[in-house]
Structure 1
């Protein structure tokens, strides 16, 4: 039976982002109440260790490599800080700027979802990167006519390893999951029409009606099954929404 770990809300903000390693290691970033720190949680969900990552201007969601090391990306400038499972620093390397999500392949290369500002890469959603190497290969280029500053969320992807030579990529705005190989070839696309997931082009803060469902994650298990994670509003959604500003 899987173990369920609940993280107490005391001392933790609702901006906590966590990742779980293959050995059950739970690490997270809380930019509100623990800025510049990476947190490690125990089986009871409480903080058991933390490390300074303040050299990263905008620490993003942690992820793990195949050796169990913890990688903390800087979302703005593309620096990645590497820590041991005990949160001891190993080193840093550079990758694509504006990094959102990353996946380490068995080869040691990384697939990253990044909103690159480099002219040749700016309209691509995915990039294959070799740590420590400036060269990269970009893939997954949506129709440029559909992209604007207001709907760049179209480029958001969630990643999961499929096997040693390919991976899954889920779109944030539509129920579409792509199967890519590491050469950048699109193998197949899986699509589903679900009445409870309409998708959307932008992320709006307006809460005049129930917020739409969000695709928030992707994973695959040891039996090859693909798990797609969503957040959906409940009947009490109005009570969970606290506006931070208003116009009159």
Structure 2
């Protein structure tokens, strides 16, 4: 009978040089696993935005290397003239005051809510009580994630909110098509940058090596992963 003694280490117990080797080895696996987990949240925000704007993203791709996308309108022209179709207004022609009114009437009601007011509270019969309400007149953009409750909503809506607040500063020929393109570009840029974050940020990779499927991983001194049964390791 032979007894074999193994010396195994947690990630933090390894030398700095070996830790860096593990980080380099695992960075792409970590990126793939994290983005696979978050991908469905991105898509949920994307589909909700499509429904809100009556558009459809198509032929899009996003990864560590970059991103690209196209989009189309489910209904274009945006406004149809009942008398003369030559007076129809298409998305690429919807500019200036007409564009502002379109955003105000068709987008903002779904991403804003009445401004919140509350009174100072007081205790009545040992119960803390205060009055609150939301204005029906004064509107404000709700939280940053009004579509799905996920942070990715913000990147889709930020260009619209910016336009709504400062539309007079935009060029006269800035159109609905330009605005929606900015929304999609902001969103896919964010998605792409998260790929870069999980692959390039050493602190993020180190944090992930302490959690999830890496949490109980043990290593040999040279950084090789121990793949035997953990129950047998003292």
Which TM-score bucket, shorter chain as reference? under 0.3
Choose 1 or 2 for highest CA Rg: 2
TM-score (norm 1): 0.20
TM-score (norm 2): 0.21
If asked which structure has higher relative contact order (CA below 8 Å, sep 6+), I would say 2
Which is richer in strand? 1
